[in-house]
Amino acid sequence: MRQQAGRGEVPARDVVADLFHVHHRRLVGLAALLVDDRGSAEELVQDAFESLYRNWSGLRSPSAAVAYLDRAVVYAARSWVRRRVTARSYAWPEAGSTPSAEAEGVGRGERDALAAAVRQLPRRQREVIVLRYYLDLSEAEIAAWLGVSPGSVKRHASRATESLQHRMEAWA
């Protein structure tokens, strides 16, 4: 991010633009894992950046901006899914649209099978797995984000992991 200019701070516009260039792709990948199409994911991310810009003066510190964006994207994606699930049947994006760094080491067929298996998990299990392994959040952080107890996060993660393991063993 840009440093402070001589007499004053860097305008919010410049800082948010820098954050956009650094984090846009990662955030679109996160949103795409949680909603059913890339176009909607891009809109959610754009809305998160717009919200960050509008609320810049209320941010406790510029270093909190990335966490603000992560949280805004996850919350927006959850709302998007809730609205759409009642309006039409739910379809996930094509597998492999934005693989994580870990997924790059996995073969394409295996990666596609894993993405398909994650898409078949119940909503809460899918959220826990995505937040844990895509954003690398701790159980306590996930619990705070989802408004559940840490024990519930552990239970959902355990069930999701077991389900994914069985599905991947069947695939192999």
- Structure confidence at residue 166 as a pLDDT band (50, 70, 90): confident
Task: Identify whether the C-beta of residue 73 lies closer than 8 Å to the C-beta of residue 3.
Answer: no
Domain 104-172 has CATH 1.10.10.10: yes
Q: How far apart are CA 73 and CA 71, in angstroms?
A: 5
Structure confidence at residue 7 as a pLDDT band (50, 70, 90):
very low
Q: Could you write out the three-class secondary structure of 46-84?
A: HHHHHHHHHCHHHCCCHHHHHHHHHHHHHHHHHHHHHHH
- Single pTM value for the model: 0.56
Quick: pLDDT tens for 124-159.
Answer: 998 899 888 888 888 998 998 888 999 999 999 999
What are the structural domain ranges in the chain? Answer: 9-90, 104-172
Residue 74 scores a pLDDT above 70: yes
**The domain over range 9-90 is classified in CATH as 1.10.20:** no
Do you know the residue count of the chain?
Answer: 172
